[in-house]
Amino acid sequence: MGADDSQGSRSAIEDWWPKLSINSKHRILEDLEAPIHAEVAAEIERLTVGPAPDLLSPAERRFVLTQIEPVD
């Protein structure tokens, strides 16, 4: 996890969320405003070969919520 977590310096959530393990997704979903756990960050960095966020931005939290909504 990097010290500079501006949107431009980290991988887009659209790239890593679909590939993230179910356990890591559940860990994030436990508290969308909590810091990203080190193990989850390591998985994100393996998937993207880039820095993981320390926290989800408001836009990233909204993205995650859209991914768990049932589709009619």
Cβ proximity of 49 and 65 under 8 Å: no
The answer to whether the Cα torsion of 1, 50, 7, 40 is positive or negative is negative
Give residue 8's pLDDT. Answer: 60
* pLDDT tens digit sequence for 26-68: 999 999 999 999 999 999 999 998 899 999 999 999 999 999 8
Closest to 15 measured CA to CA, from 59, 42, 50: 50
**Bigger pLDDT: 71 or 50?**
50
Please tell me the pTM assigned to this model.
0.82
User: According to the model, what pLDDT value does residue 72 have?
Assistant: 60
Domain boundaries, given as residue ranges, for the chain: 10-68
